[in-house]
Amino acid sequence: MSDALFDLPSHLRRRLASALESGSLRSPYTETAIRVAINSAEGLEIVADSLKELEKQGVAGRGAAAWIRAVEKARSRTPMPDLVWTGPEVPGVHARDTYQVFEELLGGAEHSIWASTYLYYDAPKAFQTLARRMDERPELKVTLFLNIRRHKNDTSAPDEIVRRFKDRFWNEWPGNRHPRVFYDPRSLAPDGETSVLHAKAIVADERWVFITSANFTEAAQKRNIELGVLFQDPPLAVSLILQFTAMLEQRVVESVPPKSR
């Protein structure tokens, strides 16, 4: 019962509380009366059942309104994720823009970024915002997890593939300061089953968590159909950082050598 009112949209909870406070909505709680009180047909049966259950417990009128106000206050303190979207806009559905979320997180971080992606193209463009922010804030620590691919018919040793990646990546890096970069060595297995680093996520300042289908590419951030969610949730951010850290400690991933001096 309480879950039903907790899940009711905020504006409808406020209307319901106001109607109970003013006396315009009173027992018996019919769906018709509730529809008039909140000016909506959403969840009428559930709301009616919830109010009847409260009444059985001796909570009605202003008391029920106070209870609903308490639910509203608790709900407002619970951080809700934002839908993040690349693609055609859907009328009536609010979603953050993928490119803007990338820019805000990478360009506004104060002290830490942990980011993982499967693909990137055109490193100077893909990492421009992040590199600029690193140069602006010497205290900003950045850790990247990138997939290193073995291209078809490439029989090179894994170390050689990593060396080529390292030389190209650091030569293209668009800033003066460099992040830590790690990769999954299993993606370079010469034979047998391989695995790839396919996770796409950003954790900024141990507070913001962005989980997305979008890679660090212009197409993914501006043209494809991509879906993600953005959380302002420090416990979740710390949990994901611990997951990344465990991969380092257990040597699931290996470091891309720094740029040669």
Q: What is the pLDDT of residues 203-258, one digit of tens each?
A: 999 999 999 999 999 999 999 999 999 998 999 999 999 999 999 999 999 999 98
The C-alpha atoms of residue 54 and residue 60 are separated, in whole angstroms, by 7
Q: What pLDDT does residue 193 have?
A: 62
Which residue did the predictor score with more confidence, 184 or 11? 184
Give domain 82-255's CATH architecture.
2-Layer Sandwich (3.30)
The C-alpha atoms of residue 241 and residue 39 are separated, in whole angstroms, by 45
Q: What pLDDT does residue 199 have?
A: 96
Cβ contacts of 35 within 8 Å, gap of 6 or more: 41, 44
Name the helix (H) or strand (E) containing 184: none
Q: What pLDDT does residue 8 have?
A: 76
The segment(s) of the chain belonging to CATH 3.30.870.10 are 82-255
What share of the chain in percent tops pLDDT 70? Answer: 95
Q: What pLDDT does residue 69 have?
A: 87
Phi, psi of 228, deg, nearest 5: -155, 175
Is residue 230 exposed (0-12), middle (13-18) or buried (19+ Cβ within 10 Å)? buried
Whether residue 14 contacts residue 25, with contact meaning beta carbons closer than 8 Å, is answered with no
For the packed helices 98-108 and 128-136, what is the interaxial angle rounded to 10 degrees?
20
What percent of the chain is helix, strand and coil (3-state, nearest 5)?
A: 45, 15, 40
**How does pLDDT run across 14-38, given as a tens digit for each residue?**
889 999 999 999 888 898 998 898 8
User: Mean pLDDT across the chain, nearest whole number?
Assistant: 90
Which residue did the predictor score with more confidence, 133 or 89? 133
Q: What pLDDT does residue 10 have?
A: 77
Which residue did the predictor score with more confidence, 72 or 84? 84
Q: What pLDDT does residue 241 have?
A: 97
**pTM of the predicted model as reported, rounded to 2 decimal places:** 0.72
Residue 94 pLDDT class (50, 70, 90 cuts):
confident
Q: Exposed e or buried b for every residue in 137-162, given b needs 16+ CB within 10 A?
A: eeebebbbbbbbbbeeeeeeebeebb
Q: What pLDDT does residue 2 have?
A: 53
Q: What pLDDT does residue 192 have?
A: 58
- Give the residue-averaged pLDDT of 62-90: 84
Say if residue 78's pLDDT is above 90: no
Which residue did the predictor score with more confidence, 179 or 14? 179
Q: What pLDDT does residue 261 have?
A: 63
